Amino acid sequence: MKYRAEIDGLRAVAVVPVILFHAGFDTFSGGYVGVDVFFVISGYLITTILLEDMEHGRFSLLNFYERRARRILPALFFVMIASIPFAWMWMLPDQMKDFAKSLVAVSLFASNILFARESGYFAPLAEEKPLLHTWSLAVEEQYYLLFPVFLILVWRFGCNRVFWTIAVLAALSLLLAEWGWRNEPLINFYFTPSRAWELFAGSLAAFIVQRRGVQTNNVLSLLGLLAIGFAVFAYDDTVPFPSVYALVPVMGVVLLILYASADTWAARLLSTRALVGVGLISYSAYLWHQPLFAFARIKGFHSSAVLGGLAVAAICLAVLSWRYVEQPFRNKSMVSRTNIFALSVSGLVAFSLLGYAGHRADGFKSRLSEDQVAFLNHFENDLPEWRYFMHLGLIEKYWAACNFYDIEAFRAGAATTIPVNQISPDCTADTGDQDQLFIWGDSHAQQFTHGVRESFGDSFAIRQIASSGCNPKIVMQDSATDYCARSNFKAISHITETKPKIVLVAQAQNHDVDHFDRLVGHLRQLGVSKVVIMGPTPQWDIDLPKILVRDLDDVPRRLAFYRRLESRETNENLRDRFGADDRVIFVDVIDAFCDDTGCLVYFGDDVAEGITSWDYGHLTPIASEYLARRMGSRLTDRDAIKD
């Protein structure tokens, strides 16, 4: 196969946005599409190799799998080995148990299946999984295992029929992805059948290049580059993926493959020494970045400066592993076929056994003291039991019956964006002559429900629509596929019909003051007397119980080190805009819990029972009650809520 420098440059265009996206740089909000770029490149390169071998009658499955083993496994094993000591030192048992499972899954080329069962790619906890990124390797490895066999079976029907068969399979895969993001978003994101069309797009491009060669077209090749750039900078985690939206970066890569000959402007740009250099080490860079970021976050380092530095470190480590691991193992004179297969099998077996041992040993709990184990067991909340939530009675105290998110599907491991058919009638029941206080937002609105009901239930009829993960927005059309759209539509409809005296709005993050200003104006037009805007809660870089368990013998009443500065900045912006607004009661939640020495971490004498947050920032019922008492007469004072 003729070397194309622009393809290596394209690898750089893929890997850098992925790394910066995972580092948390908002500018690269769609950087995750770099993985899709890799899929198309892989489909193109592998199909090109297979076509050339088949047309010259030299194809061998053994040779093919040997090349894949040399390319993928040595660097992967090296990064896995390097990750294990840090996992042992820094991971708590539940994290270590998950890491152990991922060792087994990676060894079985099935990590995409594992992570589809555990959490969403964009979920906060996903950031603490060192091997999360191997899901894309699993997709490619499954493709490598099956696609050559498929070609062998259909090759006898002729090249043209093979091409159209792949085209039909690609179309079916894309249709599956379109169905999947609406019905099974987690499975859709991770599983090969809904990703296969991206690899097949590269395969189809390989057939075309094989027949016509690479064409020269400056306009189309630049359009391809712009399409990738558009997706990187314009997309974010709200874009359903994969779906037809993925056609933008995928077709961008296809255009570059087909029309970026060496003479085009796009190819010249991609063939620059810097981009080609990064492209050559892109595989190792991709392998290194996620463990570095995950372990930093586990230790409580979330700042852009730290993660930006680790992004640079990933590139530096990639240079070393490319030079001293990737290159030697690709050299057949240094490592024979027998040895590469022996090392591959030995490594896969060893990692599987270690992972199995870690899983059986509950994440090697013996590393901790009995008190630490008991403390963590108190907060154990694995699905589907949700033992800690049940202990707190959190399902009832959050009024989960007013949540359009399908909690039962989530608990069963089948998370979906499809809303529940209906919520409890109590959520929007007629209030008679009693003034209504309506609670609206996401789970950070739900967390205030218990305290508000305990403190103000005699003064107001409390009604609620608050759905997990759904910021309060003005939505005028119902949806059967998007639970957030339905939640907000139903909330607006209820407010329009009943005109509550007070509407309390709250959300976890992304508090845009201009959006809240428009929201307040709209609610006032609907007849709402007063809007209560809840500021963000104190938020921690890692789950609060995981912070406290490391030094149980000396837990301070207040803690400052792990606080997320972003929540303070958000709070200040909201206070500056709404603190003196007579349309609004602004509740400074951070001020209620924090002072110059830090934020309250527990009440009373029992840390486990009195803890203020069970995760990164959701209030426990005892903390919700405390906050409601602090709010006091601001809600019950009729002078404060006059029309």
Whether 358 contacts 350, CB under 8 Å: no
**H/E stretch holding 245:** none
Contact 182, 24 (CB under 8 A): no
pLDDT tens digits, one per residue of 121-142: 445 567 889 999 999 999 999 9
> Residues 52, 1: contact at Cβ < 8 Å?
yes
Q: What residues does 600 pair with on adjacent strands?
A: 558
Start-end of H helices in 239-321: 247-259, 265-270, 273-280, 282-298, 304-321
Q: What is the pLDDT of residues 169-181, one digit of tens each?
A: 999 999 999 999 8
Residues 595, 597, 599, 604: what is their CA dihedral angle, to the nearest 10 degrees?
-100
Measured between its terminal Cα atoms, the distance across the chain in Å is 76
Summarize pLDDT for 26-57 with one digit per residue, the tens.
999 999 999 999 999 999 999 999 999 888 88
- Rounded-to-integer distance, Cα 608 and Cα 544, Å: 11
How does pLDDT run across 266-288, given as a tens digit for each residue?
A: 999 999 999 999 999 999 999 99
pTM: 0.84
CA 279 vs CA 262, 358, 611: distances in Å? 17, 35, 48
Residue 122, pLDDT score: 46
pLDDT in tens, 370-429: 999 999 999 998 888 999 999 999 999 999 999 999 999 888 877 788 899 999 999 999
Token pair in block for residue 157: 């029907």
Burial of residue 264 (number of CB atoms within 10 Å: 0-12, 13-18, 19+): buried
Partners of 505 in beta bridges: 440, 533
CB 445 within 8 A of CB 615: no
Q: What is the distance between the alpha carbons of residues 461 and 202, in angstroms, rounded to a whole number?
A: 59
**Which one-letter amino acid corresponds to residue 407?**
I
Distant-in-sequence, close-in-space partners of 302: CB < 8 Å, separation ≥ 6: 24, 296, 541, 564
Q: What letter does residue 400 receive in the DSSP assignment? A: G
Residue 414's pLDDT is 77
Q: How far apart are CA 643 and CA 585, in angstroms?
A: 13
Encode pLDDT of 562-614 as tens digits.
677 778 889 999 999 999 888 899 999 999 999 989 999 999 999 999 999 99
For residues 125 and 344, the model is more confident at 344
Say whether pLDDT at 643 is over 50: no
What torsion do the CA atoms of 47, 52, 54, 60 make, to the nearest 10 degrees? Answer: -80
Question: Three-state SS string across 79-102, please?
Answer: HHHHHHHHHHHHCCHHHHHHHHHH
Find out whether 485 and 479 touch, Cβ atoms under 8 Å: yes
For residue 496, count CB atoms less than 10 angstroms from its CB and return exposed for 0-12, middle for 13-18, buried for 19 or more: middle
The answer to whether the beta carbons of residues 467 and 446 sit under 8 Å apart is: no
